[in-house]
A and B are shown apart, each in its own frame.
Chain A
């Protein structure tokens, strides 16, 4: 069976596969947003230890 040929199974599971794909995309967007929020909070404050060094 050639890999390019679509098996009947792919048709049957199409809806489910699209759903899982969308969930994964959503998860990626969420992790990215969380990272963005956490990193940019406090206007890029230096960690305490580095602040002490720079003073």
Chain B
């Protein structure tokens, strides 16, 4: 059924319904981390180029969200959290979501190539492919490590931002990638420990179900330890500096403490205080990511005044 002939439709989708396909909340995180990656780079860009680059990275991320909603419409309808999304609620046709996703993916990749450079465009294309195909279509429903895979897709934006400015992938870009990549599993699995989710009804394997809760607690600790290593290593590179080091030292100490407490507990203890430790760990994880990237941004913002990084000490 084409748009023009579809007069019988009860509900006329608004622009907002199509916008909702792009997962605006995920997009806002993408904008923030990509902008930090771009501004932390030692190569300045023109403000118009910065605006265009961030916009098209965000549109690319949104397009992969639309493709994900098209592919996952069946399980989104089963789960309470996602049942109100545009496709399961009937506001947007699946075919429309696919068309929006494919069209915006192409637009975003081509325009990022023109606004920034071809490597950034290629990375954006890979990110969309990775999220829509490798994560959504292939691994999400077949392995409890799906969170790790999905986290990789979320970790690309700061690297793409960095590449927009510099044209190359350096250690700083990899460390910003690692920061989000290693952060995602403990962040999400902490949530999975205290949130009764209906992933099981939808047939999506979750670590808490497939390997049990004690195994999930072990996983959280291991990822948090590696996360701390990468987060502190970043302090020694050109995106780091005394402010970043101070922020990272405090946050990683707190995060490690939380992960160890989670690891030491069992379900009886957790249920006794209604998952207080897991809940506070999850809240801290939100602050953790925001403040790390905030500190990287602050170091970059102070650079023009001679105070960013390690050079001025």
Contacts and interface: CB of A to CB of B under 8 A. Distances in A.
Nearest to A15: B14
B12 A13 contact: yes
Contacts, number: 28
Given A9-B7, A41-B46, A34 B14 contact: no
Interface string A12-40: 11011001100000000010011011100
Contacts of B7: 9
Nearest to A30: B52
Determine the interface band of chain B, counting residues with CB < 8 A from chain A: 10 to 19
B96 interface: no
Nearest to B7: A9
A46 to B, nearest CB: 21
A17 to B, nearest CB: 9
A20 to B, nearest CB: 7
Given A9-B7, A34-B114, A34-B115, A20 B48 contact: no
A19 B15 CA distance: 7
B72 interface: no
Contacts of A34: 48-49, 52, 114-115
Contacts of B12: 12-13, 16
Interface in B102-145: 114-115
A37 B115 CA distance: 10
B46 A37 contact: yes
A55 to B, nearest CB: 28
Interface in B11-54: 12-15, 46, 48-49, 51-52
A20 B49 contact: no
A44 B183 CA distance: 46
A51 B55 CA distance: 35
A38 B113 CA distance: 13
Nearest to A9: B7
Nearest to B15: A19
Nearest to A7: B7
Contacts of B55: 30
B49 A16 contact: no
Contacts of A16: 12-15
Contacts of A41: 46
B16 to A, nearest CB: 9
* Closest 5 pairs (CB-CB, A-B): A19-B15, A37-B48, A33-B48, A12-B12, A37-B46
Given A15-B14, A33-B52, A36-B48, 19 more contacts: A9-B7, A12-B12, A13-B12, A15-B15, A16-B12, A16-B14, A19-B15, A20-B15, A30-B48, A30-B51, A30-B52, A30-B55, A34-B52, A34-B114, A34-B115, A37-B48, A37-B49, A38-B49, A41-B46
13 contacts: A9-B7, A15-B14, A15-B15, A16-B13, A16-B15, A19-B15, A30-B48, A30-B51, A30-B55, A34-B115, A37-B48, A37-B49, A38-B49
